[in-house]
Structure 1
Amino acid sequence: MIKTEMAHKEEELSEINITPFIDIMLVLLIVFMAVTPLVTSSIKIELPKSSQQAEDKLKNPIILYLNTDNTLAINDDKLSLENLANALDIKTKGNKEEIIYFHIDKSVKYEDIMQVMQKLKENGYGKIALSSKKVD
């Protein structure tokens, strides 16, 4: 009888209690989370100055509109698909790297959108930003 009680006690003592280990890990995690934002900007550099002024490209953005009746407009000037390249060359002053903001009505067919996109790509305008409304 004594042997069975001793064997039973040994079984209970052989289990490892991991609760203190988990507590320590959570405390360390919280400490690292609190300290990390303080350490992120440890490298300090001084950037060189330039004599050239930065261009403000967003002052006069080029916005291309495509409406439900497939009419195109750049800013407020209506135009046709055939005249798109010439009008963009005038607006961008020949700069093919200019970003074109493309506002499309939600009911316009995909095929019509792709025709305009293809025309832009054929004429070297590769930086196209598609715009949409924010969903509330």
Structure 2
Amino acid sequence: MDEKGFESMNMVPFIDIMLVLLTIVLTTSSFIASGRIPVNLPQATASEPDTRQTETIEIDAAGTVYLAGEAVSTDTLKTRLGGMNKDTPVLLRADKAVALQRFIDVADVLKQLGFAKVAVQTEAGTS
């Protein structure tokens, strides 16, 4: 029987493996080199609930703005909020389907009027 020796080694599988390893190294190194500073955040106990009356502004999926359950325009919202105390907590509830510009318009009114205690209500999501 005639045995033939190796004339050449097939390098294609070796190159494929090396390219996959190189891709993995480059991908993970970009995450490591992103410059994130590790911060161990402090813990806090539950604070006392705010006993002051909260004003609620709601925006439905169609973009209609409601103040205390009543549909209002942006100008009416500005007028009605203008007479309120600026320390009044405001809860902003917006449908997730609402256009971002509509949400920004309402947030801009609150900022122009100087309301500092504004919260945006969200639902707890599952990860």
Q: Which of residues 52, 73, 79 in structure 2 aligns to 1:80?
A: 73
Q: Which amino acid aligns with 1:83?
A: T
Q: What residue number does 1:51 align with? A: none
Counterpart of 1:102 in 2: which secondary structure? strand
Query: C-alpha displacement at 1:71, in angstroms?
Result: 0.7
Q: What residue number does 1:105 align with? A: 95
Cα distance between partner residues in 1 of 2:69 and 2:104: 22
Query: C-alpha displacement at 1:122, in angstroms?
Result: 0.9
RMSD across aligned positions (CA): 1.8
Q: Aligned pairs, how many? A: 77
Identity over the aligned pairs, expressed in percent?
A: 19
Q: Computing the radius of gyration over CA atoms, which structure comes out larger, 1 or 2?
A: 1
Cα distance between partner residues in 2 of 1:135 and 1:68: 19
CA contact (8 A) 2:82 2:113 kept: no
Counterpart of 1:122 in 2: which secondary structure? helix
Which sections of structure 1, spanning at least 5 residues, go unmatched? Answer: 1-54
- Normalising by structure 1, we get a TM-score of 0.51
Which sections of structure 2, spanning at least 5 residues, go unmatched? Answer: 1-49
Deviations 1:1-28 (A, max 9, x none): xxxxxxxxxxxxxxxxxxxxxxxxxxxx
Q: What residue number does 1:135 align with? A: 125
Q: What residue number does 1:56 align with? A: 51
- Normalising by structure 2, we get a TM-score of 0.54
Cα distance between partner residues in 1 of 2:118 and 2:54: 12
Q: Which of residues 80, 104, 123 in structure 1 aligns to 2:113?
A: 123
Q: Kindly indicate which of the two structures has a greater share of residues assigned to helix.
A: 1
Deviations 1:104-128 (A, max 9, x none): 0000121111111111111122321
Q: State whether structure 2 residue 64 is matched by structure 1 residue 71.
A: yes
